[in-house]
C-alpha cells in the first residue's frame, strides 16, 4: 500500500470509527444479550437443543433428532435472521481449536512477513483491520475436522442451515474472526445485499472459542433486518428533513449482542444487519466460523473468507458430512485429505 493510499485508508477508518460510536449511542437503550433458543424436540432427550446425549435408535436416530432440532431452529432463523444455539463444540474441542487458530495466526503472520505467501493467501479482508483479523482456515488438521464433525454431524448447527438451503448447500467460508484488545467498533452492515426474488443466499455460523463477555466486542445483530423493507430503510441516509430512515432504523430496532458461551454459536442470514463491537477487555476474542451458500445462487454479493483452493472446490455440506462420517468410522477422510493436498 502506497503512503497516499495508507493515509486515505486511515482517514476512512477514522470516519468509520466515529460512525460506529454514533451507532453505539443509538443502540445503547435497545441492545440485550442474544439468548440461545430453547427448543424441545421429541427424541432429543431432556436437554432439547442443548445436549448431545439424546436420541434413540443409534446413529440414524441421532441424526433424525438433530434434523428435527434444526428444522425448529430454522423457523426462528427465517423469522429473525439470527438464532443462538448452545453446546455446538465440547469445551475441550473449543479449547484445542482456540490454541490451534492462534498458533496458525502467528505462523501465517510470519510467513507473510517473510514473503513466503501473500496476505490474501492467509487473511481475508475485514472492516477495521487494526487489532482485528479474519484468518482463513485450512482443511486437513485433526482439530479442524473434529470441530466440523461436531458442528455438522453431532449438533443441530449444520442441520439448521440444511433445513433451509438443503444439504447441497456449498461451503463458501471457513475462517476465524479474531478481535484483539483495542479493536474498534465496526459500523452496522449486511454481508450481502437483499436481492428481490432470490431468498436467502448465505448463512453463517459463528462459534465462540471462549466465553464472549460484554467487554470483549461481541457481535451485534438487528433481528428482522434481513428483509427488503429494512434494507430499503438502511440505504436511505438522507437527513435533510430530520433523522434519516437509516438512523431511525438503527435507533429503534431492538438489537441483540452475541455474548456467547464457549462452544455455543449464532447462525445468521447474511442479509441481517450486524457489526463487531469494540473489544475493551484484556483478552482476544476468537469466533470460528463457516458459511454455506444457496446452491442455486452464483456470486452472493460478498467476497468469501476461505482459502481459494477450498472456495473453488464447490464442496457441498452433504459431501463434507459423508467424509466426516467415514472418518468417525475409522475409514479416513479422503475428500478432506485430497483438498488439503491442494493447499499452498
Question: What pLDDT digit, counting tens, does each position of 171-183 carry?
Answer: 999 999 999 999 9
**Separation in Å, CA 235 to CA 20, 47, 246, 250:** 16, 42, 7, 12
* Secondary structure class of 288 (helix, strand, coil): strand
pLDDT in tens, 277-304: 999 999 999 999 999 999 999 999 999 9
pLDDT band for position 17 (50/70/90)? Answer: confident
pLDDT digits (tens, 9 = 90+) for 61-83: 888 999 999 999 999 999 999 99
Sheet holding 256-257, edge to edge: 32-33, 256-257, 219-221, 274-276
Q: What does each C-alpha distance from 240 to 26, 110, 244, 271 come to in angstroms?
A: 19, 49, 8, 27
- The DSSP element (H or E) to which 127 belongs, if any, is none
Q: What are phi and psi of 285, to 5 degrees?
A: -110, 130
**pLDDT tens-digit series, residues 225-252:** 999 999 999 999 998 888 999 999 999 9
Alpha helices (H) in the chain, listed in sequence order: 3-27, 58-80, 91-113, 142-152, 157-165, 228-234, 245-252, 308-311, 317-328, 334-340
In this model, does residue 6 exceed pLDDT 60? no
- Rounded Cα gap, residues 61 and 193, in angstroms: 38
Q: What's the predicted TM-score (pTM) here?
A: 0.92
| Band of pLDDT at residue 130, cut at 50, 70 and 90 | confident
The pLDDT assigned to 234 comes to: 96
Helix 142-152 vs helix 317-328: angle between axes, to the nearest 10 degrees? Answer: 110
In the chain the domains, ranked by start, together with CATH numbers, are 3-340 (2.60.120.620)
What pLDDT is recorded for position 15? 86
Average pLDDT of the residues in 86-101: 98
**CA–CA dist 120, 96 (Å, integer):** 25
Read off the pLDDT band of 54 (50, 70, 90). very low
Better pLDDT: 54 or 211: 211
Beta bridge partners of 84: 266
Q: What's the alpha-carbon Rg for the chain, to the nearest Å?
A: 20
Cell numbers describing residue 80: 429473525
First to last CA, the chain: 24
Q: State the average pLDDT over residues 207-227.
A: 97
Q: Which residues, 6 or more positions from 143, have their beta carbon under 8 angstroms from its beta carbon?
A: 93, 96, 97, 100
How sure is the predictor about 108, in pLDDT bands with cuts at 50, 70 and 90?
A: very high
Q: What integer is the mean pLDDT of 44-67?
A: 59
CA atoms within 13 A on the CB side of 227: 12
pLDDT score recorded for residue 185:
92
Q: Quick one: pLDDT at residue 58? A: 66
Check residue 214 and give its pLDDT.
Answer: 95
How many CB atoms lie under 10 A from the CB of residue 230?
Answer: 20
Amino acid at each position: 500500500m502506497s503512503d497516499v493510499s495508507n493515509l486515505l485508508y486511515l482517514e476512512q477508518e477514522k470516519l468509520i470509527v466515529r460512525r460506529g460510536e454514533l451507532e453505539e449511542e443509538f443502540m445503547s437503550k435497545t441492545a440485550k444479550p442474544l439468548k440461545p433458543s430453547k427448543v424441545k424436540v421429541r427424541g432429543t432427550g431432556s436437554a432439547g437443543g442443548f445436549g448431545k446425549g439424546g436420541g434413540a435408535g443409534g446413529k440414524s436416530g441421532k441424526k433424525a433428532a438433530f434434523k428435527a432440532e434444526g428444522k425448529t431452529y430454522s423457523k426462528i432463523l427465517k423469522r429473525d435472521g439470527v438464532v443462538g444455539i448452545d453446546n455446538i463444540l465440547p469445551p475441550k474441542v473449543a479449547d484445542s481449536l482456540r490454541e490451534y487458530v492462534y498458533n496458525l495466526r502467528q505462523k501465517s503472520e510470519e510467513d507473510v512477513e517473510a514473503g513466503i505467501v501473500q496476505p490474501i493467501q492467509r487473511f481475508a479482508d475485514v472492516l477495521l483491520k487494526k487489532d482485528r483479523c479474519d484468518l482463513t482456515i485450512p482443511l486437513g488438521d485433526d482439530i479442524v475436522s473434529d470441530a466440523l464433525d461436531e458442528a455438522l454431524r453431532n449438533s443441530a448447527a449444520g442441520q439448521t442451515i440444511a433445513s433451509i438451503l438443503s444439504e447441497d448447500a456449498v461451503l463458501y467460508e471457513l475462517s476465524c474472526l479474531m478481535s484483539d484488545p483495542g479493536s474498534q467498533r465496526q459500523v452496522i452492515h449486511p454481508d450481502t445485499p437483499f436481492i428481490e426474488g432470490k431468498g436467502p443466499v448465505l448463512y453463517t455460523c459463528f462459534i465462540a472459542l471462549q466465553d464472549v463477555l460484554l467487554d470483549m466486542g461481541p457481535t451485534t445483530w438487528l433481528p428482522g433486518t434481513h428483509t427488503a423493507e429494512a434494507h430499503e430503510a438502511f440505504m436511505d441516509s438522507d437527513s435533510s428533513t430530520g433523522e434519516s430512515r437509516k438512523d431511525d432504523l438503527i435507533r429503534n430496532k431492538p438489537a441483540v449482542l452475541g455474548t456467547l458461551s464457549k462452544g455455543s454459536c449464532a447462525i445468521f442470514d447474511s442479509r441481517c444487519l450486524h457489526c463487531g463491537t469494540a473489544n475493551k477487555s484484556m483478552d482476544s476474542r476468537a469466533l470460528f466460523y463457516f458459511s454455506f451458500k444457496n446452491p442455486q445462487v452464483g456470486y452472493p454479493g460478498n467476497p468469501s473468507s476461505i482459502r481459494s483452493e477450498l472456495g473453488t472446490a464447490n464442496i457441498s455440506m452433504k459431501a463434507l458430512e459423508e467424509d466426516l462420517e467415514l472418518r468417525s468410522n475409522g475409514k479416513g477422510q479422503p475428500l478432506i485429505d485430497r483438498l488439503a493436498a491442494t493447499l499452498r
